[in-house]
Amino acid sequence: MTYQIKISKDINIQDINEILDLIGWGAYLEDQWPIIKDKSTFMVEVLQDNKTIGFARVVDDTRMCMIYDVCVHPRFQKKGIGTLLMQEVLKYINDYNFATISLFYDMNNKGLENFYRKFGFELIPNAMRLKK
């Protein structure tokens, strides 16, 4: 299977929204996308036959770095596409000397934890977030 890796902010919003819906996170609204594109510092898509089947993005300010929206179309999961996305994210990240590089994930999903551990991530006990 040949996949195309695209590093650009000229993203395929419709396909990415479809993936976000299918995995249950929910699509971003049309008027959110220009802001997301503007504030994100790195975006990567994996495509097959011009259709986006995987996406990830980074938001950073040269010191702090967060990885968001690592997602693969359910039909294409467990075929190495998440790994391709993370490899591209890490190539971007390795060009900087960030103080912290973080991401959120579903802690009930041990598989996900192992997925990120493969790339050198570890659990930390010192994070909090504002209650909604």
Ligand X SMILES: CC(C)(COP(=O)(O)OP(=O)(O)OC[C@H]1O[C@@H](n2cnc3c(N)ncnc32)[C@H](O)[C@@H]1OP(=O)(O)O)[C@@H](O)C(=O)NCCC(=O)NCCS
- Which residues contact ligand X (rule: CB under 6 A)? 23, 70-72, 77-83, 103-105, 109, 111-112, 115
Report, in Å, the least distance between residue 36 CB and ligand X: 16
Report, in Å, the least distance between residue 125 CB and ligand X: 18
Residues 20, 17: Cα–Cα separation, whole Å: 5
Report, in Å, the least distance between residue 118 CB and ligand X: 6
Nearer Cβ to ligand X, position 34 or 123?
123
Give Cβ neighbours of residue 54 (< 8 Å, ≥ 6 apart): 19, 45, 46, 71, 72, 73, 76, 81, 82, 84, 85
